[in-house]
Amino acid sequence: MDIRQTALDGVLTIIPKKIGDARGYFVETYSARALADAGVSTTFVQDNQSLSRWRGTVRGLHFQRPPAAQAKLVRVIQGAIFDVAVDLRHGSPTYGTWVGETLTAQGGEQLFVPRGFAHGFCTLSEDTVVAYKVDGYYSREHDAGVHWADPDIGIAWPVTSDSAVLSDKDRAMPRLKDLPAIFAYGAAP
């Protein structure tokens, strides 16, 4: 696996190695040892999967508040996405900034999003299937988010506000400036 640090501390791009022959290919999609070598000691407890039927579907920007915060390891099983992480750690030099990576089923790229970040994605093809591991169980009580098109964050989404396919929940998320301090930079995860 090739593991690369992004512009946001702790957010990693992971590119697994595919071994192919006439039959197809084999790929190791997860290695706790490789992630530990990159400084990630996360223990994943749940796998999630979503299907988005339409290109331009936006899911996010989601996170869970402490004590139910989650780290995520995101990959695409079918199709492609523009995957985004936003730093929500108050006091961080990159607070309120974002990184985005294109993840494809064909390339097998993954994004590791640590606790303290919001996560979201936009589908780049129809019938896109996204799978992600999380290190904490879902908690409706701690479920939260920030508006996907918050101009203060300024994400360069590959879809316009008029054409994005959104849930009512995501459409009603608050702006970053309206969120209380939820995560603190340098605090224990």
First-residue to last-residue Cα distance in the chain: 25
Structure tokens at 51: 């299907």
d(CA 64, CA 23): 42
DSSP tag of 32: H
Residue type for 124, please? L
- Let me know how long the chain is: 189
d(CA 16, CA 43): 19
Residues known to be catalytic? 62, 132
d(CA 138, CA 144): 11
- Are residues 82 and 155 in contact, defined by beta-carbon separation less than 8 angstroms? no
Residue 170's SS3 state is helix
